[in-house]
Amino acid sequence: MRKLVVLSLSSAALFIPLVSSAMTIHGDIHPGRYTFFLTQEGSNQLKQANDRIAKNPQAYTLDVNHTGIQPFDAVRWDGKPVKAVTCVLVDGVMMGQKATWSQCKDESGAEYFGNKGWLVRDYVAKACEVGKSDCPVYLVLQTDPPTMRSDMANFVPAPKNFNASTSLTDEIKSEGCQMADNSFEHAKSSLRCRAINTVRFIRKQNTEAAYEADLTTTTGEALTMTVGYTYGNASSKEPGWRTISVDQGDIITDIRKQGQWIPNGYK
């Protein structure tokens, strides 16, 4: 079964994608569709942009990516350079004004958006027009004839734990019982942690990351502890603060100084 890109042929229409590889386009689509093969520099610039946004959707990428298109919606997370993209130009309304933009898909099914038209020529090694026998097609339109070539991949989203930090997961596994005991002690509870059973990455957004840990107390109770990490900025490699919360304990905060966690207070 051919995978379709769902299109809006007028700016007033609204279509909902029916398959995971679908991309919604609002506006009037120009008739020409092209596949652009990137130069090595263009390929690596898009890779850097993908890598940043895959880890932090609010990341700034214009300092590393000058290709004219940016990762959008279905963001590539596999860490590989982008080989080629198939793009269309769209006329529509953006921020209340008439505009023309490009929407593209690469060979993995990842999506891109450019608010100034086609890709910057300096980062394109060669291009071909969709419909030519030797031109791969990574963005398929619903209006394409059944005989049209299709190379469009079904995009696979990043796994849930993709943004998890191995070092933080290991930290919670090794230090989790002490974290929980500090919380219990401040709440004047007699409970103590016997073992950390599992650690789950919940999410990371901008400067915040959240984890959960299932623990067993010395009396056999099963409890859940939440550990939230805060980074100084979105590009920081290590968090500067952590907040610990566990059932029947108090919420406590630690601050990192010279690589060590120091109790900073209680909430």
Q: How far apart are CA 194 and CA 153, in angstroms?
A: 48
pTM reported for the whole predicted model: 0.60
Non-local (6+) Cβ contacts of 37 within 8 A are 83, 84, 124, 125, 126, 127
The pLDDT of residue 213 is 95
Q: Are 179 and 44 in contact (CB under 8 A)?
A: no
The structural domains of the chain, with segments of one domain joined by +, span: 7-129, 166-266
The pLDDT of residue 86 is 97
Instruction: Give phi and psi for 77, each to the nearest 5.
Output: -130, 5
The conformation of residue 21, written as its DSSP 8-state character, comes to T
Encoded tokens for 170: 């290991």
For the chain of 267 residues, list the mean pLDDT of each consecutive stretch of 10.
34 31 80 96 95 80 93 90 96 89 96 94 97 93 89 84 75 94 94 95 83 95 95 79 94 90 73
Cα–Cα distances (Å) from 164 to 56, 59, 79, 148, 208, in that order, read 12, 17, 15, 41, 12
Long-range contacts of residues 53-60, Cβ cutoff 8 Å, at least 24 apart: 54/158, 54/162, 54/163, 55/163, 55/204, 56/204, 56/205, 56/206, 56/234, 57/205, 58/205, 58/206, 58/234, 59/234, 59/235, 60/234
Instruction: Give phi and psi for 265, each to the nearest 5.
Output: 145, -175
The conformation of residue 121, written as its DSSP 8-state character, comes to G
End-to-end alpha-carbon separation of the chain, Å?
Answer: 56
Q: How far apart are CA 67 and CA 119, in angstroms?
A: 6
Q: What is the DSSP string of 72-86?
A: -SS---S-PPP-EEE
Encoded tokens for 227: 């550990």
The pLDDT of residue 4 is 36
Q: What is the DSSP string of 212-261?
A: EEEEEETTS-EEEEEEEEE-SSTT-SS-SEEEEEETTS--EEEEEETTEE
The conformation of residue 7, written as its DSSP 8-state character, comes to E
